[in-house]
Amino acid sequence: MIIPFAVPLDDLVSKSDQSLLDNKIYGMSNQLNILITGATSGFGRQTAETLANDGHQVFATARGVNGKNADAAQSLEKWASERELNLKVVELDVSDDASVNQGISSILKDAGHLDVVINNAGNEAQVVAQRQHLDALGLGEWNNQKGV
């Protein structure tokens, strides 16, 4: 869509969208509480860093933050701490309902609410999906990948 410059901004966006734009343009606080799964490496980490740099409260989740992903979790926390950013690493394994419930409860206790959830976590279903059509995935595999 091409927006002609002659059209007033008020004609293109709702009042609530206009308020969000004003906040962005004029530097007013518009902090969102954002949860990102699979956030200790790759796109998840890059997204977490970008959104934290933009002033949002980021809950960067991953499985094994005290185990196999401890180094990556500590590295991300150190990065945020050095920049005084609002980023917290939280244990959350999307393939484990108890872990999801515990992680979400912890986040809601800290933040009160979530504005955005970015489901970036990968698991074995992702590898399977790359090799066959989505309709060949079992329901359990699909739910593990997309069920957060």
Q: Take residue 110 and report the two structure tokens written for it.
A: 């800290």
Question: What is the per-residue pLDDT across 124-133, written as a single tens digit (0 to 9) for each?
Answer: 544 444 555 5
Question: What is the per-residue pLDDT across 28-82, written as a single tens digit (0 to 9) for each?
Answer: 458 999 999 999 999 999 999 999 999 999 999 999 999 999 999 999 999 999 9
Fill in the DSSP letter of residue 58.
E
Helix (H, G, I), strand (E, B) or coil at 81: helix
pLDDT higher at 126 or 114: 114
How far is the C-alpha of 60 from the C-alpha of 129, rounded, in Å?
Answer: 24
The CATH code of domain 30-121 reads 3.40.50.720
How far is the C-alpha of 128 from the C-alpha of 97, rounded, in Å?
Answer: 21
The CB density around residue 76, as the number of other CB atoms within 10 Å, is 26
Inter-CA distances, 72 with 28, 78, 99, 103, 116, Å: 32, 10, 19, 18, 23
Q: Would the pLDDT of 20 be above 80?
A: no
Mean pLDDT of the chain: 78
Q: What's the pLDDT score for residue 12? A: 47
How far is the C-alpha of 22 from the C-alpha of 93, rounded, in Å?
Answer: 37
Positive or negative torsion for Cα 102, 61, 31, 10: negative
What pTM, to 2 d.p., does this model score? 0.68
